[in-house]
Structure 1
Amino acid sequence: MSEMNREQTLWSKDLVLVFAATFLVYANISVFFHFYEYLRTLPIDPKWYGLLISIFSAVPLLVRPIISPLFHTGNSYRFLYLGTVFLMGSLVLYTFAVHFWSMLLVRILHGFSFVLLGTALMTIIVEFIPKEKSAQFFGLMSVIVLIPNTIVPPILPFLSGMAGGFTQVLILFALITALVLPLLATTRRSSTYSQKEGRQGRLSRKEIVEDLSDAMVPCLLLAMLFLYTGHALVFFFLDGFGRQLGFASTGFFLTLSTAGEIGIRVAGGSLFDRYNKAGLAIFIMAAMAPVYILLAYVRNENLFFLIGLLLGLAWGVAMPVFNALLFDVSKPRVRAFNTNLGLQMFQGGFLLGPIIGAPVVARWGFSPLFDICAVLSVFSAVFVFFIRRRLTQSKEQEGTDKPTSADEGTSPSL
């Protein structure tokens, strides 16, 4: 595949295969929708349920920063195959995990397998992102990640009945996961161009320090952390807030927000790359702040659900634009590393959300919680404003010279 085709083609054969593999990988998370109910059938003290559920997410949070610098074009497929085999094995091992310690070990192995596979997959994916359509790509990728959550949970009861139980369904998904291997086998041949450009080999400590010393990268990562923390606060505490207000079917709020996320990415994803991404991110984060404040003090049920749709539309634009902006400002050599750090911010936000939210709700109630979301949005916009100034200054200094990788993928200002 030529460099020109990479920049212009979104629906290439390689990208379609990457999308399909991503769907299969994230379906492995959706299949655990009823995991809490399954734990109740085992001889395990309920006090350990929270640990057994959360350890799966905690392992990637600890492991990804360590392994990300080690992955590169030359070894990512090897780790992808290894992670796939580990993931399949961990799904099978749930059949034998019926007590606390055995279940804890399986959950740790499952979390490690997932981050190994996911990090390798992202390292591969970055090589196929069209440079001129990075925001549209990340929008479609996030839709594909969401689709399993809408398809798999409703059919789990049917699958459990047909297969003979939850662990048998996991074995079925282990077999389905094996399809990742042939799906991505052909993309390996297309990635050889990276080796010719000298991107092969693990990142050195000097390269990592230089990358993180560029103020734009940590500022953007912090802006993403603020975005995801606000999203997590709504996700975890919305139900209690709605019940306190006496609203029925508060889950419909999240249904509308998810529909908004998917809808805006599918319908308007191609527009994300036509505008200055930093300017678009600033506008969205600034506009989200008053919506959070409105949520904090809403008392009308219809307005409550309208806010869900508005936040979904905002999240639907902000998340792919942030990922695309991180891709654009990163040098080619560290794009995979920085993209994996972006995923780390997502998991970090969903870790910080409950840690921040629980004591706030316990002491002051729900309304101040959503005021905090508004403050986080403003801070996020401020950090991106700094990034936009840096990009503008860089362009002015370059004049008519060829743009650097920090400016690739940005469009004229809004």
Structure 2
Amino acid sequence: MYASDAPINWKRNLTIAWIGCFLTGAAFSLVMPFLPLYVEQLGVTGHSALNMWSGLVFSITFLFSAVASPFWGGLADRKGRKIMLLRSALGMSIVMVLMGLAQDIWQFLVLRAVLGLLGGFVPNANALIATQIPRHKSGWALGTLSTGAVSGALLGPLAGGLLADSYGLRPVFFITASVLFLCFLLTLLLIREQFVPVAKKEMLHAKDVFSSLKSPKLVLCLFVTSMIIQVATGSIAPILTLYVRELAGNVSNIAFISGMIASVPGVAALLSAPRLGKLGDRIGPEKILIVALIVSVLLLVPMAFVQTPWQLGVLRFLLGAADGALLPVVQTLLVYNSTNQIAGRIFSYNQSFRDIGNVTGPLIGASVSASYGFRAVFFVTAGVVLFNAVYTAFSLRRTRRAPLPSADGENDDNPVVN
């Protein structure tokens, strides 16, 4: 499992990790378009019951992922990141096969929970690459890596819908399992890591992890930012199709229009993330983070006043371009503010906050829209992001006096290897 002392080709690792993130992103989103249909096929009937179970099987994966991520992050710091990538890809592949064989809704619910427990490919890929790249290229590399999962998530629903129409619902789970197994093989054969296992007794405890950070309050702020990014994205998801229908009126292709408007932020993020990451390497990721948060607020508010779907689509495209900078910039700042010894846990804690945002965002959007209407959701979301912008600016200002550390004091011009 552990490589020789020969230098690691971090660019090749980045390429394979990108492919792995793309495949896992596609695999997760392949089943999303027909998840309620599969719930119905498993015996759930009635409008309210179908809605309840669909929401439950969707959110339980993120809930269990939030719980499990810190454990896997600690194991990654002790055993290595590559083995965590292999564990995640193979485990998810097996669970997908079992999902395709599920006979009732309870079996499916348990398997969705297990899927969350066994996940973690993307945060571990981030931790692996973050500890190998030259620090002055962190923004570009992590921005590029983030486009892998985004690309997969964009193409997955389209592929899943086509496959479900062509072969039926259950075969899609088996196809998804094959995709994840391919990810396992690529990681096993092509990714290299130099890692010296750490004895369990030598591992820092959770309390010591945070006390070892130069700016623990800033790192906590970055975790909260990751959560709010997902809250802002998820709060709009439950109402988007209904809001588009309200704007478009009675048109026959409402599903197509809604799908286009739902996907344009991802396309914009795909285009902007590497470029803004590279810009952050040059001018500082802190500036990119604050500007992107403020721009997000300025784009969310007008969405409450649009009169046509194309106006909403343009604003969501611009929002996606701004959001494309946010997660990579947060990850870059986490790299700057943590050491290789704790990178796995820091990225896993960040993933837990993202998962919490994935669960709470849709709940907030659905609750606000039910009480105050669709347009109120955009005001509430803008307020949450504005709070985060102020909180982040305050946290960054408190730490600006001291230069951000180059982890472990290593030369920024050389790849960092465990």
Larger CA deviation: 35-44 vs 138-147: 35-44
1:144 CA drift (Å): 0.8
Change (3 A) 1:98 1:45: farther
Q: How does 1:305-384 map to 2 (within 5 A)?
A: 305-384=313-392
Q: How far apart, in 2, do the equivalents of 1:205 and 1:347 lie?
A: 19
Aligned residue number for residue 154 of structure 1: 158
Q: Residues 84 and 124 of structure 2 are in contact (CA less than 8 Å); yes or no, is this contact kept in structure 1?
A: yes
Q: How far apart, in 2, do the equivalents of 1:261 and 1:254 lie?
A: 13
Q: How far apart, in 2, do the equivalents of 1:370 and 1:176 lie?
A: 36
Q: How does 1:5-404 map to 2 (within 5 A)?
A: 12-33=11-32, 34-45=34-45, 47=49, 48-72=53-77, 74-115=79-120, 117=121, 120-156=124-160, 159-160=163-164, 164-185=167-188, 190-192=192-194, 194-195=195-196, 202-211=203-212, 214-246=216-248, 249-395=257-403, 403-404=405-406
Q: Residues 124 and 347 of structure 2 are in contact (CA less than 8 Å); yes or no, is this contact kept in structure 1?
A: no
How high is the sequence identity, in percent, across the aligned residues?
Answer: 21
Measured on the aligned residues, the alpha-carbon RMSD in Å equals 3.4
Instruction: Provide Cα deviations, 1:192-215, integer angstroms capped at 9, x if missing partner.
Output: 2x5399999643234234157821
1:269 CA drift (Å): 4.1
> Which amino acid is the alignment partner of residue 74 of structure 1?
K
Aligned residues: 397
SS of the counterpart of 1:40? Answer: helix
> Which amino acid is the alignment partner of residue 352 of structure 2?
Q
1:218 CA drift (Å): 0.9
Larger CA deviation: 58-67 vs 119-128: 119-128
Which sections of structure 1, spanning at least 5 residues, go unmatched? none
1:145 CA drift (Å): 0.4
Q: Which has the higher contact order (CA 8 A, sep 6+)?
A: 2
1:28 CA drift (Å): 2.0
Q: How far apart, in 2, do the equivalents of 1:356 and 1:409 lie?
A: 45
Larger CA deviation: 284-293 vs 263-272: 263-272
Q: How far apart, in 1, do the equivalents of 2:206 and 2:277 lie?
A: 36
1:377 CA drift (Å): 2.1
Which sections of structure 2, spanning at least 5 residues, go unmatched? 413-418
Instruction: Provide Cα deviations, 1:350-385, integer angstroms capped at 9, x if missing partner.
Output: 222122222222222223321122222222222222
Q: Residues 292 and 370 of structure 1 are in contact (CA less than 8 Å); yes or no, is this contact kept in structure 2?
A: yes
SS of the counterpart of 1:260? Answer: helix
Q: Residues 328 and 407 of structure 1 are in contact (CA less than 8 Å); yes or no, is this contact kept in structure 2?
A: no
1:300 CA drift (Å): 4.5
Change (3 A) 1:65 1:165: same
SS of the counterpart of 1:195? Answer: coil
Q: How far apart, in 1, do the equivalents of 2:327 and 2:81 lie?
A: 25
TM-score (norm 2): 0.82
Change (3 A) 1:187 1:330: farther
